[in-house]
């Protein structure tokens, strides 16, 4: 029997919460409007009306059929990638947990499946695992997309990896698959994986006891000493046990600051907006 648990996505008052036909493909969603932060650059937003999101597990964990679906208050499936709003205003963002800290099953949003549930990644029909536990909560920023047709001139001309932007959440608590957290970005790492740009936004959940102490990259070094280096080294080396070369990092192999992280979030949100409006080719990606 499928298990159902309820999580709360923090309510946003920054989106126009009126049900309407979506101009980005006709599916029933909620009207988008621009969100403006201190940078004066707008976000595209698609909010779900009911902040209570149910997570429904289908199948057994660590099997090929296992899926974690997101349901709205009426029980209708919604996409964690497309339907949960990115920004809550004032520099706060929603983050969706795919992989809890101290676990190694490689879970990810299935970007090519309807409703984009979370599933365990596979290779050649076999479930994928990291060679050792990941030490932080890991997941995605909704309503972002790293465009594989766009080269980043600041990071060796690398093209996007065709996925939502990844988040490494450094708080002390182990979270659950499908949990939606309110986070603030602190830094960004420009990982290059087999030639593709795969941003890692380092962030902390607002309910973490140390959240009030950290607001930028230097604060992370002060209050979480060694963490940024550990994150970089973990993602650089995790493929080596499988006989693959180490990943590389751009931007001088160093973490960028909060403002740079916000710039990346803005840019990838703009790319996502073009994607769901079908201004760019979606390929095999699901837009609902």
CB 72 within 8 Å of CB 78: yes
Neighbour-count burial of 220, counting CB atoms closer than 10 A to its CB (0-12 exposed, 13-18 middle, 19+ buried) = buried
- For 272, list phi and psi in degrees, rounded to 5: -60, -40
CB 278 within 8 A of CB 285: no
- Cβ distance 249 to 190 under 8 Å? yes
Helix (H) / strand (E) element for 68: namely strand 67-71
- Of 130, 132, 138, 260, which one is the catalytic site residue? 130
Cα 85 from Cα 271, distance rounded (Å):
15
Instruction: Output phi, psi for 84, to 5 deg.
Output: -85, 130
- Decide if 132 is catalytic: no
Separation between Cα atoms, residue 144 and residue 252, nearest integer Å: 24
Parallel/antiparallel/unpaired status of strands 196-205 and 166-169? parallel
d(CA 166, CA 281): 22
DSSP string, 45-99: ----S-SEEEEEEES-TTSTT-EEEEE-TTS-EE-TTTTS-SEEETTEEEEEEEE
Euclidean distance between CA atoms 198 and 260, whole angstroms = 15
Residues belonging to the active site: 130
């Amino acid at each position: 029997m499928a298990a159902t648990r309820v999580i709360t996505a923090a309510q946003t008052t920054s989106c126009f919460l009126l049900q309407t036909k979506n101009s980005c493909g006709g599916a029933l969603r909620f009207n988008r409007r621009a969100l403006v932060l201190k940078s004066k650059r707008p976000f595209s937003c698609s909010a779900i009306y009911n902040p209570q999101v149910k997570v429904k597990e289908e199948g057994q964990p660590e099997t090929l059929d296992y899926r974690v679906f997101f349901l709205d208050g009426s029980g209708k499936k919604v996409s964690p990638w497309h339907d949960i709003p990115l920004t809550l205003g004032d520099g706060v963002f929603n983050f969706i947990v795919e992989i809890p800290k101290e676990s190694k099953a490689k879970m990810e949003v299935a970007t090519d499946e309807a409703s984009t549930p979370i599933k365990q990644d596979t290779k050649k029909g076999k479930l994928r695992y990291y060679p050792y536990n990941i030490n932080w909560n890991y997941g995605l920023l909704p309503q972002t997309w790293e465009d594989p047709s766009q080269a980043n001139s600041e990071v060796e001309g690398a093209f996007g990896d065709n996925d939502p932007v990844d988040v490494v959440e450094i708080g002390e608590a182990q979270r659950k698959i499908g949990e939606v957290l309110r986070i603030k970005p602190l830094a960004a790492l420009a990982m290059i994986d087999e030639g593709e740009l795969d941003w890692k936004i380092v962030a902390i959940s607002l309910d973490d006891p140390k959240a009030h102490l950290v607001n930028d990259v230097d604060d992370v070094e002060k209050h979480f000493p060694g963490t940024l280096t550990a994150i970089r080294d973990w993602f650089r080396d995790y493929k080596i046990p499988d006989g693959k070369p180490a990943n590389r990092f751009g931007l001088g192999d160093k973490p960028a600051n909060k403002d740079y992280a916000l710039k990346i979030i803005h840019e990838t949100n703009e790319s996502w907006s073009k994607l769901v409006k079908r201004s760019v080719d979606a390929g095999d990606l699901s837009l609902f």
